[in-house]
Amino acid sequence: MPPTAKHLSITMPSLWPAVGALALAVGPLLAFAQSPQDWLARMAEAVELLNYEGTFILMQEGSVESLYIIHRHEGGKVSERIVSMDGAGREIIRHEDEVTCILPDKRSVLIEQRKDVNPLLSALPNYSDKLEQHYAVALSRRGRVAGRMTQVIRIQPRDSYRYGYRLWLDEATAMPLKSQLKDENDEIVEQILFTSIAMPEFIPQAALEPTIDTAGFTWYRPRTNGASPQTGAVAWRAAQLPSGFELSASTVKVMAGSEYPVQHLVYSDGLAAVSVFIEDPKTDTEPMAGFARMGSANAFSLRMRGQQVTAVGEVPRRTVESIATSLTLTPENNAR
């Protein structure tokens, strides 16, 4: 692993007097670049468009896992591989049209086709005034992470239906080198911290290939090529949503391990997202009901009109519960 960009942190202090003295000369430029919205927009681009690889620590629920990430953006296509360096030894590999999740502890491989890539882009946070109706976004102090100087951004929810964030963004690239997800009590739900990161110009394909021998594993993949058109005169929609949440995507797909289409709704407030999955319960061997938690994500399941409904998202329990329980069948023409 190459050394991190220490030169930035070493050199920058010597430049601060010059920067201060020159504030008048380049004031508009400085102001443009220093707004928290600009930082967040740069972060969203950096996370997707930069090449990077590094080791980071994931802390949640008292557990600590070290992981390795390789992210490549080449020719407009994004590939990513995340590997657990301890624990269950899981891997997840994402190419532009497919996500492969290798679960050695379950001796399983999940493959999901990604037929429609655009919704991902449309779901990128839109840092508008609208977002600030539900979050207070502010610049905080500067700090050092993995040997690099960072700008800290605080994103505090204005109600208890969403989590807050604290982000340490690399001053040079806006890459988030550290992030905290905070609940309504300001307790840290999840913390991610890069211990080393490099941004190579080129990442070979070999670096994105899995290393786990999956012989004997059960493979779950969609039986058909992913999405099928939504049909029928009615559609499932949430009748009541926490303030700011809107429907941002609606698809019907045959998911890995299912024989029947699953409706997938995504509700987002521009930053947080909640997915609702509605499927025929006969595709499950056992019903799901009540709350479940996976990492920082909460899930709430119930049976409704003979369908298995599950809402999942990195939001408080009350949010997934309120969205799931408000689902109703709506005439297609009104389903917005």
Give residues 30-69 in contact with other proteins (rule: CB under 8 A): 30, 32-34, 42-51, 56, 58, 60, 63, 65, 67, 69
96 touches other proteins (CB under 8 A): yes
124 touches other proteins (CB under 8 A): yes
129 touches other proteins (CB under 8 A): no
DSSP 89: -
- The single residue listed with the structure tokens 């050092």 is 144
CB 311 within 8 A of CB 300: yes
108 touches other proteins (CB under 8 A): yes
List helix spans (H) across 100-256. 118-122, 129-132
CA distances (Å), origin 114, targets 98, 119, 155, 335: 5, 10, 30, 23
Residue number, 143 or 331, with CB nearest to other proteins: 143
Stretch that binds other proteins, among 86-94, 129-137, 233-241, 327-335 (CB under 8 A): 86-94
209 touches other proteins (CB under 8 A): yes
Among 36, 72, 110, 203, binds other proteins (CB under 8 A): 110
258 touches other proteins (CB under 8 A): yes
Residue number, 268 or 333, with CB nearest to other proteins: 268
CB 179 within 8 A of CB 151: no
Site string for other proteins, 145-184 (x = CB under 8 A): --------------------------xxxx-x--x-x---
- The single residue listed with the structure tokens 């490099």 is 198
Q: Which two tokens stand for residue 272?
A: 């947080």
294 burial class (0-12, 13-18, 19+ CB within 10 angstroms)?
exposed
Tell me the sheet residues that pair with 64: 59
Among 128, 218, 224, 240, binds other proteins (CB under 8 A): 218
